[in-house]
Amino acid sequence: MAKNKGSNTSNKIDKQKNKFKIGLKSHNLAKRNVTKTGHGNSEQNFDDNRSMKSRKWKINKNLSLRERMMEKLKSARFRAKSSSLCIADFGCGEAKLAEKLEALAEVHSFDLVAANSRVTKCEMSHTPLQSGCVDVAVFCLSLMGTNLSTFIAEANRVLKEGGVLKIAEVESRFENPDHFIAAIERFGFKSTSKDYSHKVFYFFDFKKLSNISKKRKNKLPEINLKPCLYKKR
């Protein structure tokens, strides 16, 4: 009996060690993904990004962030604007916006990993959309990496003039949200709404005023957010 108890204790210790190793690996993957540039690393980092996306989907599910974004997109303001609303969802995860808004709008869903048939796999800085073809561009927990400026420039390219850019991000990633808003406005946008009432997330709305000229493109600012890192336990 004593031998069996010792064996059981040893097995429990081994299991705890394995759990610790798995948790540490997931933490390191998340840390690497959020601090790397997106362009040029897609293929080699798909496994890492899949791990990051699965974690992001859990956040969305538990806190109903995408549900809140859906309600914003279903608002009367958008329904009245167009009977054939076109939305680009950048960093879409499982493309829940496309699933839930299917009857209300045409939704183009983009991500580094195609989780299902609704998702187009691509870099968010180089989508296959034509210029000036969408009414709304959405970034919902998807401003990851160090080349965020290229994502916002791509959103400007695909949006119609007067189109809406909607951003939802974790509040702890912002050093100063007003500086973030000012930087986005340099990309041909005007801030129309900001919502800091949620305990965890900030919501921003912008209106596209103009395209980015080639001359102005070289003078655009870098957009930086703090890494959304997971604390070691």
pTM of the model: 0.73
Summarize pLDDT for 185-205 with one digit per residue, the tens: 999 999 999 999 988 899 999
Residues of the chain with pLDDT under 70: 1-66, 74-83, 229-233
Write down the pLDDT at residue 82.
Answer: 57
**Domains contained in the chain, CATH given:** 58-217 (3.40.50.150)
Closest CA to 140 of 85, 211, 63, 82: 63
Q: Which two tokens stand for residue 194?
A: 């900001």
